[in-house]
Each structure stands twice: as C-alpha cells, then as structure tokens.
Amino acid sequence: MRDTKTKALMIGVMIAGGMSLSACATKKFVNQTVAPVSAQVSANETRLGALDKSANDALERATAAGKLAEGKFLYSMVLSDDQVKFANNKYKLTPEGETALTAFAEKLKADNKNVYVEVQGHTDANGPPTYNLSLGDKRAETVRNFLNRQGVALNRMSTISYGEEAPVAANNTRAGRAQNRRVVLIVLS
C-alpha cells in the first residue's frame, strides 16, 4: 500500500511539474520564436505562387502545342549518318546535313500548309543513358534552330530526345551505331 501511495504522489508531482513548465513561455518569447518562422513560411508561399504560375504557363504552352499536333501524319524524314553524319558524341551539323535540312525547309514552305514538325533526337548506346538523352536533345535542338533560320516558325516545331531508347539497328557494330545517331523529323498537318 505504501508503494501505491508513493507512486501516486510521484505521478502527481510529475503532472504538476509538466503543467508548470508549459506555462513558462512569455508572449515576448513566443513572438521572437514564431516571427522568423512566420517570415520564412511567407517567403515560401511567395515562391510557391511563382512556381505555380510557371507551371500553369508551361501547361498552357504544352496544350497549345498539343492542339497544333493533333493533325494527321503527313510524312517523315530521317537524318542519319548518310546525310547529316552526326559523329560520335557530337551534335554539330555538317555541310551535308545543312544542305539536306535546307531542302527539307524549302519543301515545307513550298507545301504551304500549316504543318507541325516534331524533331526527334536519337543516339547510339555508347555512354550513360542520361548523357545520351542530353545529346539527343542537343541534336534535335540544333536541327530545330537551323530550320528556324531557314524560315520555319519555332512555334510549329517541338523537340524530343529518345537518347538510346529507340534504336533502328544493333548497337554492337560500328554501322549499327552510326544508324542510331540520327534525327527524325515527323511532319503532321
């Protein structure tokens, strides 16, 4: 029985101590502690608002591009080693590639249709996949920028990189890897 009274007394003292500690914070202390956190939350809310606007703008641009691309497939052109000659780990156009792209741009302008061009960048399987995605993107952007200089409107073109994910030939031979280093142009109406 003595142990029960002692335990009850100890529990009572602990509860009373906990309650007295919780009431020790002053209003000034709370304001000083909460003010920096409140300012940080406010700054984060501002940044989130800006990010939300950027995301909405990007969604609107993607939706507009999607509406442009809702047409039917007209034709495609593959720019590979035999025309553009993308060297291993390179994305610069050769004079032969520029000639082929100039002819392609002239065909687009001669057709005089509102068309949409998807520029797909591809690589061989040498190197890490993340590097190959980046290289495929650089190849596609190089072609898109060249076509724009030839008079094809930028809002009528989009780029996508498939990296090494969509090979047309085996990557275990030099000839196969050369075929996989390509840009494909898909024309939709």
Lowest mean pLDDT among 61-75, 156-170, 172-186: 61-75
pLDDT tens digits, one per residue of 136-156: 999 999 999 999 999 988 888
DSSP state of 8: H
Query: What is the distance of C-alpha 12 from the center of its chain?
Result: 61
Which helix (DSSP H) or strand (DSSP E) does residue 34 occupy? helix 27-68
The pLDDT score that the predictor gives to residue 149 is: 95
Q: Is 90 exposed, middle or buried (0-12, 13-18, 19+ CB in 10 A)?
A: middle
Class of domain 70-188: alpha beta
Beta bridge partners of residue 188, listed in sequence order: 73, 116
Give the start-to-end residue ranges of the domains of the chain: 2-66, 70-188
Chain segment 10-23, per-residue pLDDT in tens: 665 566 555 555 55
Q: pTM to 2 decimals?
A: 0.58
Confidence of residue 81 (pLDDT cuts 50, 70, 90): very low
